[in-house]
Amino acid sequence: MNALRSVWHVTREYAGLAEAGGVKDVVRGLADALARKGVPTTVVLPRYGFLSPAIDRGQLVVSFTLSLPDQDKQNRLFDEHVQVFQSQMQGVRLLFVESPRYSALRDVYTYTAQDEAENEWRKKGTGHWDSHQLNIVLQRAALEAAARLGPDRVLFHCHDGQTAFLPAMMKELPSYAGVFREAASVVTIHNAGKGYHQEVWSPEFASLLTGLPASVLQKGMLGGTIDPLLLAGSYSVLCTVSEQYAAELLEEKGAETSGGLGRACRERGIPLRGITNGIDPTPWDPRSSERSGLPFAFDPSTGDLEGKKKCRRSLEATIGFSSGRGTDKAPLSAFVGRLTEQKGVDILFRSLKEILSRQSNFLFVVLGSGEKQREDMFSELAARSSSQGKFCFVPRYDPALARLIYAGSDFFLIPSEYEPCGLTDFVSQLLGSIPIVHRVGGLVKVRNGETGFSYDEQSPAALVAVLDKTARMFFEDPSSLDTIRRRAFSEIFTHHTWDRVLEDGYLPLYEGAFKG
């Protein structure tokens, strides 16, 4: 690690402070692992208006003014004053970016019900109208802070399209090119799906926003827009959150959901690497109730599941759902997640509908919220007489209940249409719920019959077939399921911790970024 003097993560999310999706866990996990390794680590993130005043913003280190265009006012330029404050958290330096735009936000990416009540045009759940300006404030703040705080040989790790203009600005803007001559960058694509690229529709607006000339922005032209992820490929190492997802993008598997980014990278000779995410198992370790937050402890590595059975009973009491068969007399399969097309909930719904129409020993619980029509169809299914005592739907997201569902279920369903990496399979393995996954993207890390079960065809018939198989094993071959459960749990600690992922994946990637 002689070449790597400092890693700076630039991100809109950070676990424990600003949380929206899986990005928060990746950045926090990597930052903490780097700090444990002794690598000087900085995280640059916004100081949102929703952050508690009790969170120490620290010492002012940088102050500057940006001129930003307003697309709603014929691209007129408006000055925005930006300040950067320095703090510390568990060996990681945090740089909080303050600006009037960030101070007004109540959520990381979208408007809240309170926002809508104040302004009917700002609909709950829709993205901020000035998302591009918000992104540029963060990226420019990171560059300004690094230019003043150093060191020269810094590695910027930029997360998703919200920060992907930074590599080009660092190398092409005169005010930064000399300062960062020895710097390098990595851009992680956490999700290449529709709505995640942060593409800018107008080249003129993109130029006013970034300060980059048309000749540079042209390198990011994709489908008539300026795509910051594609542009970054000319200046940075591009990486996805699993090897399989990188391969699928380059092969254009699921091209309709990725906007042709993989095809463009392949045609332009831009490498697309992949490193499968890790997890910090400590907060999920069921062997300690204090660490896991569960009401009862158990140990999947030894087959001591008495506490898991108690968690099952606690779950049934919590959601008012009882099988009437005894807590260990029928398999309980669970889904926890967003009710969106990407998560495969239409396949899930049709599969549950078929199974629940039978006279069979299947039990299911679904926890999640999302598009209203999908919430309505699960609510209607739960209300059917054939579902009574067999299926419970909880239309919200509740982290404590989610944890209890992981611990109380026998199988965990992940029928995603596409999945860049997947975290729920890791969590289910730790809490003794055997994952059942659509074999796609990062979910290929679940090995069929060894650490869980998988199916290739994305159809209700394929998922139902796996559920039928696991039910038979539950009744007829529980020892094989116990073997799978033990192996799945142990492999998290041997292969998938952030310390392991850092050592085997990211440190070599960072070194390679400097070589070019």
Asked whether the CA dihedral 176, 179, 184, 189 is positive or negative, the reply is negative
Return d(Cα 435, Cα 348) in angstroms, integer: 14
| Contact (CB, 8 A) for 176 and 119 | no
Specify the pLDDT at position 1: 44
Q: Does the structure show a pLDDT above 80 at 303?
A: yes
Average pLDDT over residues 295-309: 94
Q: Does the structure show a pLDDT above 90 at 151?
A: no
Specify the pLDDT at position 254: 53
| Predicted confidence (pLDDT) per residue in 205-259, tens digit | 999 999 999 999 999 999 889 999 999 999 999 999 999 999 999 887 555 667 8
State the alpha helices, DSSP H only, in 390-459: 399-408, 424-430
**What are the DSSP calls for 297-344, one per residue?**
--BTTTTB-HHHHHHHHHHHHHHT---SS-TTSS-EEEEES-BSTTTT
Percent helix, strand, coil in the chain (nearest 5)? 45, 20, 35
pTM reported for the whole predicted model = 0.91
Closest CA to 20 of 32, 30, 33, 11: 11
Average pLDDT over residues 157-167: 97
Quote the percentage of the chain above a pLDDT of 70: 97
Average pLDDT over residues 275-297: 93
> Structural domains in the chain?
6-278+500-515 (3.40.50.2000), 282-496 (3.40.50.2000)
Average pLDDT, the chain: 92
Sorting pLDDT into bands at 50, 70 and 90, what band is 372? confident
Q: Does the structure show a pLDDT above 50 at 17?
A: yes
| Contact (CB, 8 A) for 180 and 35 | no
Q: Does the structure show a pLDDT above 50 at 434?
A: yes
Q: Which of 48-52, 258-262, 349-353 is least confident?
A: 258-262
* Cross-strand partners of 67: 79
Return d(Cα 259, Cα 352) in angstroms, integer: 32
Higher pLDDT, residue 73 or 484 = 484
Work out the angle between the directed axes of helices 399-408 and 306-319 (0-180°, nearest 10).
130
Pairing state between β 225-226 and 76-89: unpaired
